[in-house]
Amino acid sequence: MKSAIELVHVTKRYGTARGVTDLNLSVAQGEVFGFIGPNGAGKSTTIRMLLQLTSPTSGEIHLLGQRIQGERAELRRRIGYLPSEIHFYAEMTGKQALELAANACGLRLKDTKASDYAERLQWDMDRKIKSYSLGNRKKLGIVLSLLHQPELLILDEPTSGLDPLIQHEFFELLSDLKRKQGMTIFFSTHVLSEVEKLCERVAFIREGELVRISDVDSLTAPGDHIAAIRFAEEGNKLEAYGLLQLDPNAAYENGVHHLRTGSRLQELLTVLAEKKVREITLRKPTIEELFMDDYREERRADQ
């Protein structure tokens, strides 16, 4: 399959300061790809390079089959971008802002799908921008980013300010765009649970380096669960019942034993079969928890 984004040994330095270091990444056309990392990890730097707002210090970037080198206005027209913070002329209505943007792309607003998108997001484009809540500004930004039917959509922290219902509708819209138009979506966030809902693959970036790229579905092993157990017998049983041997990070809090089974679910069940259990819940680890594991392992390796 052709790639929509290809980073080859991409490094960006700001003077002597780190931006990102030796990124290698390939996003296929039509893929929804999550880009996750804490503040300062290098997400915005990477996005700025994809948008040709800044150049890499070294390495190559290919977008939609073309290498970025110098000014590529034609390529930019095929890309949609939703910035994390959006600023508009306050006295305009949303519709006027859309008209301005449509004209700049050589389009007439009524020939675009703007009103369909606005309806799906329950956004009233006739009000003045100065009256907008954060959520409404975001909605304007979303519609603007989609106005010219881009092949590649780059979203920087797209859901901040959206309430859960609208967020859900926005994700449905993105899934439709992928399914019906084969749009590639590159999605940066530090709200890790979002990528579970939307993305097929995810890359974790930290301190400017990619630490992991993985299919969202295969982030956890089949039997891997987070268990919360309350035994009939009171008190901390982590040692006595051998739970620390199953998971060295197991913890006891307010009468509940928390642990992660990893590949040892069967062993946990054997322990439980011999004890009186009052309550138990099992759930899959979230991406946050998986990410924490990467941190822990690295910290252990550093020590």
Ligand X SMILES: Nc1ncnc2c1ncn2[C@@H]1O[C@H](COP(=O)(O)OP(=O)(O)OP(=O)(O)O)[C@@H](O)[C@H]1O
Residues at the contact surface with ligand X, assessed by CB under 6 A: 14, 17-19, 37, 39-45, 190
Minimum CB separation from ligand X for residue 195, in Å?
Answer: 15
Cβ distance to ligand X smaller for residue 204 or 231 = 204
Minimum CB separation from ligand X for residue 47, in Å?
Answer: 7
CA 65 to chain centre: 23
Q: Are 43 and 12 in contact (CB under 8 A)?
A: no
Measured in residues, the chain has a length of 303
Cβ distance to ligand X smaller for residue 43 or 148 = 43
Minimum CB separation from ligand X for residue 37, in Å?
Answer: 5
Minimum CB separation from ligand X for residue 213, in Å?
Answer: 16
Q: Are 113 and 80 in contact (CB under 8 A)?
A: no
Question: From CA 82, how far away is CA 60, in angstroms rounded?
Answer: 23
Cβ distance to ligand X smaller for residue 43 or 178 = 43
Cβ distance to ligand X smaller for residue 154 or 238 = 154
Question: From CA 62, how far away is CA 23, in angstroms rounded?
Answer: 13
Question: From CA 31, how far away is CA 160, in angstroms rounded?
Answer: 22
Q: Around Cβ 265, how many Cβ atoms within 10 Å?
A: 17
Cβ distance to ligand X smaller for residue 212 or 275 = 212
Minimum CB separation from ligand X for residue 54, in Å?
Answer: 8
CA 171 to chain centre: 12
Q: Are 291 and 206 in contact (CB under 8 A)?
A: no
Q: Which residues have C-beta within 8 Å of that of residue 141, sequence separation ≥ 6?
A: 82, 83, 86
Cβ distance to ligand X smaller for residue 40 or 255 = 40
Cβ distance to ligand X smaller for residue 37 or 158 = 37
- Partners of 66 in the beta sheet? 63
Minimum CB separation from ligand X for residue 42, in Å?
Answer: 4
- List helix spans (H) across 77-191: 94-104, 114-120, 134-146, 164-181
Helix (H, G, I), strand (E, B) or coil at 235: coil
Q: Around Cβ 239, how many Cβ atoms within 10 Å?
A: 11
Minimum CB separation from ligand X for residue 48, in Å?
Answer: 8
Minimum CB separation from ligand X for residue 135, in Å?
Answer: 20
Cβ distance to ligand X smaller for residue 80 or 208 = 208
Question: From CA 123, how far away is CA 105, in angstroms rounded?
Answer: 22
